[in-house]
A and B are shown apart, each in its own frame.
Chain A
Amino acid sequence: MTLTPDDVARLARLARIDLTVEELTKLAPQLDVIIASNRLVSEVATADVTPTSHPLPLTNVFRSDEVVASLPVADALAMAPAAEEDRFRVPRILEEEQ
């Protein structure tokens, strides 16, 4: 399976990355090479090898249900591009009606 510029355009849209047609055309074959390289792993891995989702062989790492101090509001909002009434301010979510 090869990755087409259409596939890349869809992924770019899902990831909210604005790409030009030139960039899509250039990226598609490059991403294809990366995927092909990864595919080698599947060839080596046989049915009795379970996929790894975490590098450490650990399970059940829990913290106890104890409250620790939160950030002061000013610190939490310090990194926000815009804030109002102690809340993070974000641009309009829905486009204006056509």
Chain B
Amino acid sequence: MDELMDFAEVLERFDPVLGLEVHVELNTASKMFCGCATAFGAAPNTQTCPVCLGLPGTLPVLNGKAVESAIRIGLALNCEIASWCRFARKNYFYPDMTKDFQTSQYDEPIAYEGHVSVETGGVVYEVPIERAHMEEDAGKLVHVGGATGRIEGAEYSLLDYNRAGVPLIEIVTKPVFGTGDRAPEVAREYVADLRDMVRALGVSDVRMEQGSLRCDANVSLMPKGSDTLGTRTETKNLNSLRSIERALRYEIRRQGAVLAAGGRVTQETRHWNEAGGYTTSGRSKEQAEDYRYFPEPDLVPVAPSREWVAELRATLPEPPAERRRRLTTEWGFTEAEMRDVQGAGALDLVLATVVAGAPPAAARKWWVAELARRANETGTDLDGLPITPAQVAAVQALVDAGTVNDKLARQVIDGVLAGEGDPAAVVAARGLAVVSDDGALGVAVDAAIEANPDVADKIRAGKVQAAGALIGAVMRTMGGKADAAKVRELILTRLS
């Protein structure tokens, strides 16, 4: 187990420097260089052809839609768009690519020199973007034999090349300085903003749990007052926004302990273990890999005309910060309420719920209070929960119609999350509708009055607030399934 230093103590002595690499899988219908489909979850090797299998004599042809998406992402990141750029071969030997190289971009990325603003805890941090370039995804490995599917100790491996050749955009930041103790949160918010931005562009599904958004997080520690960068580590296997924040917090504490003990941080790739909450050493980068990049001779250069870039710029959605400001006003939220929404990664979900008919305050309450807690409990991101904005809006509609009260609504949500179907189906199947029928409630109200004569006297004497005790008693009798307003009305009618 690694030695860890207290997070606050590390921050007293060092400044963390972040570097984030995000891969976004584009949602084009076909692959980057061939016409194979890109659908997620297809049966193994049903979406391959001679081009993406790297067979001799085949020629790749670039997917124009992928270039368009790359440019739109670049523009949304406030990048310059190259007027001329090429693809390059990144040579490496690993079975996830049959060609023994990945077609990528090297020193001529399609987009470069951008920046995005990230807000957390009321402070705005500027994240400088180094580049966004186009490349292709690799195949998927399954390791057989050995312990639980790990590559270590495996006897052999099996490959599915459906993903090989799916278009990717890699977005790389420059070193991010000055985030201090907020470094892990800034990283998380940056990726969350990127996800929202890419989703708004409509160019990717950006689902971390399906791997269409992947993040590698670099961090190093710089001694306070120094301007020499420390040695960084790169942490992989970050499958949720939450794991980005946790893994960085861990690495900062681990590196702090290493440096404080007079040791040296090894430049290496580390793997995040989500269940255990720690990172482990992967391959060391001391022998720097030599990818022998060279321009891809099978593809001609990409030279987007300025007119095309201007056209694409006109299609950009509203920038996230402006959108947040507009929605805060439209929904009548306070800035603090909006920060909670943003912090929970719930902005798009709340919006979709409002669009589906729920009042903004109710949509916020369900996502930020109720569902965020459940996502936290199960260790998933909010949008990974098996409930849709339309279903949340339907739950609220049931509340507004008086069919269920808040307490029952939570049980309806339990049912939806457990896969029991839409809210209406859950209410029917679990018998969750409140009783507002006068007959059944009247019996319970009479019983409550009889059982609590002193309370009843107080109400008769005009102490209306004492009705709460009787409402509680009726609720208990009815197993929580009573319409509270109706019960109150019945009590007051009887005792006035």
Instruction: Indicate if B316 sits at the interface (CB-CB under 8 A).
Output: no
A84 to B161 alpha-carbon distance, docked (Å): 14
In the bound complex, do residue B45 and residue A65 qualify as a contact, i.e. CB atoms below 8 Å apart? no
Give chain A's interface residue range (CB within 8 Å of chain B): 35 or more
Q: Is the CB of B61 within 8 A of A62?
A: yes
Which of the segments B223-231, B254-262, B289-297, B484-492 contacts the partner chain?
A: B289-297
- B156 and A92: CB pair below 8 A? yes
Chain B contacts to A: CB under 8 angstroms: 28-30, 34-37, 43-50, 53, 55, 61-67, 84, 86, 91, 93-95, 142-144, 151-161, 290, 292, 295-297, 299-304
User: Which of the listed residues A58, A70, A79 has the most CB atoms from chain B within 10 Å of its own CB?
Assistant: A70
* Partner pick for B67 among A53, A62, A92, CB 8 A cutoff: A62
Which residue of the partner chain A has the closest CB to B157?
Answer: A90
Give CA–CA (A91, B141) in the complex, Å: 12
Give every chain B residue within 8 A of A54 (Cβ-Cβ).
295, 297, 299-301
**B95 contacts A93, CB within 8 Å?**
yes
Tell me if A56 is interfacial: C-beta within 8 Å of chain B.
yes
> Given known contacts A60-B300, A66-B30, A84-B144, what 7 new A-B pairs fall within 8 Å (CB)?
A54-B301, A63-B62, A64-B65, A67-B37, A73-B46, A87-B160, A97-B153
Neighbouring B residues of A64 by C-beta, 8 Å: 64-65
Chain B residues positioned under 8 Å from A88 (CB to CB): 45, 95, 158-159, 161
Q: Does A16 count as interface, using CB distance less than 8 angstroms?
A: yes
Chosen A-B contacts, 5 in total, with CB atoms closer than 8 Å, are A54-B301, A66-B29, A68-B35, A86-B44, A90-B158
Q: Are A73 and B29 in contact (CB under 8 A)?
A: no
List 3 tightest A-B contacts by C-beta distance, closest first.
Answer: A62-B64, A68-B35, A65-B65
- In A13-70, the 8 Å CB interface with B consists of 14, 16, 53-54, 56, 58-68, 70
Cβ contact within 8 Å between A67 and B156: no
Asked if residues B302 and A60 are in contact (CB atoms below 8 Å), the reply is yes
Residues of A within 8 A of B159 (CB): 87-90
Q: In the complex the two chains form, what is the Cα distance from A66 to B292 in whole Å?
A: 33
Is there contact, CB below 8 Å, between A14 and B292? Answer: yes
CB-CB under 8 A from B152, the residues of chain A are 94, 97
Once the chains bind, are B43 and A86 in contact (CB under 8 Å)?
A: yes
Q: Contact between B61 and A70 (Cβ–Cβ < 8 Å)? A: no
**A22 to nearest B CB, angstroms?**
25
Complex Cα spacing A63 to B36, Å: 12
Q: Closest CB-CB distance, B349 to chain A, in whole Å? A: 29
Q: Determine if A89 and B158 form an interchain contact, defined as CB atoms under 8 angstroms apart.
A: yes
The residue that B61 contacts in the complex, of A61, A73, A77, A86, with Cβ under 8 A, is A61
Alpha-carbon distance A3/B344, docked complex (angstroms): 58
Instruction: Give the residues in chain B near A91, CB-CB below 8 Å.
Output: 156
Q: How far is the CA of A73 from the CA of B161 in the complex (A)?
A: 11
Complex CA distance for A62 and B295, rounded to whole angstroms: 18
Contacts A56-B300, A86-B43 given; indicate if A70 touches B29 (C-beta within 8 A).
no
